[in-house]
């Protein structure tokens, strides 16, 4: 140890270690067990702390920041309720493999296990929803633990890591030599860095031999920063691409070869193509139940290639014929090189005639029941907006170039269907856990990461009200987020299921006129509010909202939409991917 080694308290070491890990923002909320740490934050300038209004929102902000940047989001909460409030956000990040480091205060080591005030076993409570967790025993471990936590959170299949910090280990009176490790090696954790060469060659052959191929991309392609490589492979071959909810934007959504999202509310053409394919080329997707419908009836004729960083995702739901475990940013370039060389060597592959026939079928499906089908027939009557029209207006007003967060429910599906993302990390939503209340705080995290970007939050009044206290945080930090509230005065997706499966009995899914005046609500926090209910004024309002007029303002648009609209297509439960309800039974 050199003579210059600084001696710091545990609290100061923690914050210094965050600086050394490259952290820009901490999203947090103080409390007793975290006060030494908060004092350390006060005495430095390099890391900016954002004071939230609820710990759940802190985790979603860190999550939004991570999704938009690829860097781990950082959360700081106190013990007990602070920690448990954070759990929903940790689980949200876990399900979508988002890198995050959550630091929770804990009662002092000597009080652990005594049911002390604000004590909760955070390592135990969070265990099923973290990639890993630490309980700090000695202050001197803090720099190492922080370095390991960032390494684990951001490598392999990313995920949240919790560091539970007992108050005594941050005692300002106790000093320790500080040294941040240059690198981390763990004998028990070595994420795969390359795919198996032989498997990659097999996958390339399978691609070239396919007659009815579909490339099926997921969130892993976004996380692995390999969207552009995949796009060039798909374009080189001329193959159709579909994406999960989580993968939108990795392959440009406005390209003609993009079939739209697949799955429960996926497009007709994407689901039909999946069912009838002879090759499914899955990249960073996990064959989620919202995609496959009944796995036993999944794509009966298809050979399955599955590329994923996580071996546990492969052959979990659907058996892969050619599994490749590895990071997409190394597997895909290698694959591209092989496909390129093979195409140059033997220009007869892929079979252009078969591919043209395949596209003919796909185009026919698209023409018959493509997404605009519904709207062509139901151009909203005056006084009633369709939610799809609102999303399309947002798309037009932002030139398709905004960061868009969403909450969970019908509005989420409409946003995924009708906002065509051309770039990865632009679509920020809770796909796996389906966390209502995610949208606004996630948008805030995105706005912190990209202060000059246009950030829209497409939400519904049900989801919005789960974290609307953050309007106050937006006021404090002057965040110019544009909130588009698809207000149908109901929990739309619940109501839709009740319409379709419970004889229209709307058990506790409507608010019975007990909603606030959202325009006034926004105004009370110093923000701008709009109400829109006519199609005729929709584009003008959106032009205002996203134009220079409100460049620095948070704008809340309360869009009153047709409360009876359903999301279609919708998978028929227990069927194959081809089995969909396409429109409301008349």
Partner 1 sequence: MRRLIAVLIENEAGALSRVVGLFAQRNYNIESLSVAPTEDPTLSRLTLCTSGDDSKIEQITKHLNRLIEVVRVVDLTDGEHVEREMMLLKVRAEGVMRAEVKRTCDIFRGQIVDVAENLYTVLLTGTSGKLDNFIRALPKTAIVEVVRSGVSGIGRNEKILGL
Q: Rule CB under 8 A: which residues touch partner 1?
A: 123-124, 127-128, 131-133, 135, 152, 186-189, 310-312, 315-316, 319
Contact 402, 577 (CB under 8 A): no
Q: Which is nearer to partner 1, 123 or 581 (CB)?
A: 123
How near is the Cβ of 123 to partner 1 at its closest, in Å?
Answer: 6
Contact 115, 152 (CB under 8 A): no
Residue in 48, 110, 117, 360 annotated catalytic: 117
117 among known catalytic residues: yes
Between CA 73 and CA 165 the distance in angstroms is 18
Residue 376 buriedness (CB in 10 A; 0-12 / 13-18 / 19+): exposed
How near is the Cβ of 313 to partner 1 at its closest, in Å?
Answer: 9
Residue in 19, 24, 111, 118 annotated catalytic: 118
Cis-peptide, bond into residue 199, ω within 30° of zero: no
Q: Which is nearer to partner 1, 125 or 270 (CB)?
A: 125
How near is the Cβ of 129 to partner 1 at its closest, in Å?
Answer: 9
Residue in 13, 27, 55, 264 annotated catalytic: 55
421 among known catalytic residues: no
Closest CA to 11 of 233, 119, 165, 216: 165
H or E element at residue 406: strand 403-406
How near is the Cβ of 320 to partner 1 at its closest, in Å?
Answer: 12
Closest CA to 247 of 429, 404, 370: 429
Contact 283, 241 (CB under 8 A): no
Provide the 3-class DSSP secondary structure of residue 280: strand
How near is the Cβ of 114 to partner 1 at its closest, in Å?
Answer: 17
SS (H, E, C) 454-482: CEEEEEEHHHHCCCCCHHHHHHHHCCCCE
Dmax over CA atoms of the chain, in Å, equals 81
Provide the 3-class DSSP secondary structure of residue 335: helix
Q: Which is nearer to partner 1, 169 or 417 (CB)?
A: 169
Contact 534, 383 (CB under 8 A): yes
How near is the Cβ of 148 to partner 1 at its closest, in Å?
Answer: 9
55 among known catalytic residues: yes
Q: Which is nearer to partner 1, 127 or 506 (CB)?
A: 127
357 among known catalytic residues: no
Q: Which is nearer to partner 1, 196 or 550 (CB)?
A: 196
Residue in 167, 482, 489, 495 annotated catalytic: 167
CB contact set of 1 (below 8 Å; sequence gap of 6+): 177, 179
Q: Which is nearer to partner 1, 187 or 512 (CB)?
A: 187
Residue in 100, 466, 468, 493 annotated catalytic: 493
User: Which residues are known to be catalytic?
Assistant: 55, 117-118, 167, 493
């Amino acid at each position: 140890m050199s003579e210059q080694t600084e001696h710091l308290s545990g609290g100061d070491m923690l914050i210094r270690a965050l600086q050394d890990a490259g952290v820009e923002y901490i999203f947090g909320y103080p409390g007793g067990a975290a006060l030494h740490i908060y004092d350390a934050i006060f005495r430095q300038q390099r890391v900016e702390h954002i004071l939230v209004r609820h710990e759940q929102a802190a985790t979603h902000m860190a999550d939004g920041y991570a999704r938009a940047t690829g860097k781990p989001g950082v959360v700081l909460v106190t013990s007990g309720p602070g920690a448990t409030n954070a759990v929903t956000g940790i689980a949200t990040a876990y399900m979508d493999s988002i890198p995050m480091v959550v630091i929770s205060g804990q009662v002092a080591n000597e009080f652990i296990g005594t049911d002390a005030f604000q004590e909760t076993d955070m390592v135990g409570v969070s265990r099923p929803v973290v990639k890993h967790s630490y309980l700090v025993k000695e202050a001197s471990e803090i720099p190492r633990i922080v370095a390991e936590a960032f390494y684990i959170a951001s490598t392999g299949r990313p995920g949240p890591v919790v560091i539970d910090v007992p108050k005594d280990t941050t005692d300002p009176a106790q000093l320790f030599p500080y040294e941040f490790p240059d690198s981390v090696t763990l004998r028990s954790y070595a994420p795969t860095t390359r795919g198996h060469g032989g498997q990659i060659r097999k996958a390339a052959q399978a691609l070239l031999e396919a007659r009815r191929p579909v490339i099926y991309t997921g969130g892993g392609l976004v996380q692995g920063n390999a969207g552009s490589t995949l796009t060039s492979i798909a374009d080189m071959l001329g193959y159709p691409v579909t994406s999960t909810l989580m993968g939108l934007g990795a392959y440009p959504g406005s390209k003609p070869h993009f079939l739209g999202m697949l799955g429960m509310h996926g497009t007709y053409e994407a689901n039909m193509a999946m069912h009838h394919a002879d090759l499914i080329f899955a990249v960073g997707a996990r064959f989620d139940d919202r995609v496959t419908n009944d796995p036993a009836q999944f794509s009966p004729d298809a050979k399955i290639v599955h590329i994923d960083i996580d071996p546990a995702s492969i052959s979990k739901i659907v058996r892969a014929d050619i599994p490749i475990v590895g990071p997409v940013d190394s597997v895909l370039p290698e694959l591209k090189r092989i496909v390129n060389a093979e195409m140059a060597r033997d220009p007869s592959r892929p079979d252009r005639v078969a591919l043209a026939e395949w596209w003919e079928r796909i185009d026919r499906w698209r023409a018959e029941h493509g997404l605009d089908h519904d709207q062509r027939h139901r151009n909203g009557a005056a006084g009633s907006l369709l939610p799809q029209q609102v999303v399309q207006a947002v798309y037009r007003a932002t030139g398709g170039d905004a960061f868009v967060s969403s909450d969970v429910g019908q509005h989420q599906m409409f946003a995924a269907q009708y906002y065509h993302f051309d770039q990865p990390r632009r679509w920020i939503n809770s796909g796996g856990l389906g966390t209502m209340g995610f949208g606004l705080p996630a948008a805030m995290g995105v706005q912190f990461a990209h202060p000059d970007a246009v950030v829209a939050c497409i939400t519904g009044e049900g989801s919005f009200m789960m974290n609307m206290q953050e309007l106050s945080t937006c006021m404090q930090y002057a965040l110019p987020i544009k909130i588009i509230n698809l207000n149908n005065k109901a929990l739309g997706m619940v109501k839709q299921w009740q319409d379709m499966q419970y004889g229209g009995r709307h058990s506790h899914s409507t608010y019975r006129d007990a909603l606030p005046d959202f325009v006034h609500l926004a105004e009370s926090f110093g923000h701008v509010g709009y109400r829109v209910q006519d199609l005729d004024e929709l584009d003008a309002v959106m032009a205002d909202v996203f134009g220079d007029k409100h460049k620095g303002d948070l704008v809340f648009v309360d869009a009153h939409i047709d409360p009876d609209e359903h999301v279609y297509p919708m998978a028929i439960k227990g069927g194959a991917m081809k089995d969909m309800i396409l429109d409301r039974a008349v």
